[in-house]
């Protein structure tokens, strides 16, 4: 089981990415819990996550989120993958960050 937290500014487009990632994970036989929160709720959700991915629109928060995430890997979703809603690529990014290649 892998717990993937997506963090964004408001949550609309990221909610769509969550749905697509969840479907892709199921297709690939990956047990995953994937959810999105606005950046204001990132700290409260960080301890439940194995990896935290930021939407490109909040990339400026990378250092702040890393500071509250403890040892949890944090990265910014590739802008092209996000814009294209390329869920397999974003899921691969999350899995690679936690070393479950």
Taking the CA atoms of residue 31, residue 48, residue 65 and residue 72 in that order, the dihedral angle to the nearest 10 degrees is: -70
8 is an active site residue: yes
- Catalytic one of 8, 54, 87, 97: 8
The residues, ordered by sequence, that sit 6+ positions from 76 with a Cβ below 8 Å of its Cβ are 53, 54, 55, 56, 59, 62
Active site residues: 8
């Amino acid at each position: 089981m892998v717990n993937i937290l997506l963090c964004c500014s408001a949550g609309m487009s990221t909610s769509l990415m969550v749905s697509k990632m969840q479907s892709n994970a199921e297709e690939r036989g990956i047990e995953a819990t994937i959810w999105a929160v606005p950046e204001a709720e990132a700290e409260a959700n960080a301890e439940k996550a194995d990896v935290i991915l930021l939407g490109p629109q909040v990339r400026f928060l990378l250092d702040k989120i890393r500071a509250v995430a403890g040892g949890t890997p944090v990265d910014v979703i590739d802008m092209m993958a996000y814009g294209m809603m390329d869920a397999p690529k974003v899921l691969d990014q999350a899995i690679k960050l936690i070393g479950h290649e």
